[in-house]
Amino acid sequence: MHAIMLKAKLHRAEVTHAVLDYEGSCAIDGEWLDLSGIREYEQIQIYNVDNGERFTTYAIRGEEGSRMISVNGAAAHKAKVGDRVIICAYAHYSEAELLNFKPRMLYMAPGNELSHTSNAIAVQVA
C-alpha cells in the first residue's frame, strides 16, 4: 500500500517575479530547492495566500541566493509580485517508508528571508 504525503513545503514565500512571456514553471532559489528536497522539473502545487488561487506547475532552478520565486507562463495570471504563496510538493511513500517519514518545510520571513526549517507542523489547538 502507498500513501501520497507532503514531501516539502516553502511556507509564505513572496513572489518576486510574475513573467507571462516565459516558458511555464516556477523558478525557485536553488538553495531553497536543495534545502527542501524539491527537484528541478518536479510537479508542485502553489497556494496563493493573498488571492486564494491554487494551481499546479513545476519547479525550475533559480539563481542560488537570489530569494527568487518567479511564477511564469499562464500561472503568472494567478500571482503577482509581492503575493505570499505556499509551495508544496507531494510524493508516494510505501508503508515501510512512512515509518520514518518527515516532510521538509522551510518557513519564510518578510523579504524572503529564511526564518527556520522544520520537519513537523505543530498541533492546531482549538
* Residues of the binding site: 57, 73-75
In angstroms, what CA-CA distances link 56 with 77, 80, 92, 94, 120? Answer: 13, 16, 17, 24, 23
Is residue 31 within 8 A of residue 65, CB to CB? The reply is yes
25 classed as catalytic: yes
The three-state secondary structure class of 115 is strand
41 classed as catalytic: no
Catalytic residue among 58, 90, 93, 107: 58
Mark the binding-site residues for substrate, compressed into ranges.
Answer: 57, 73-75
Positions annotated as catalytic residues are 25, 58
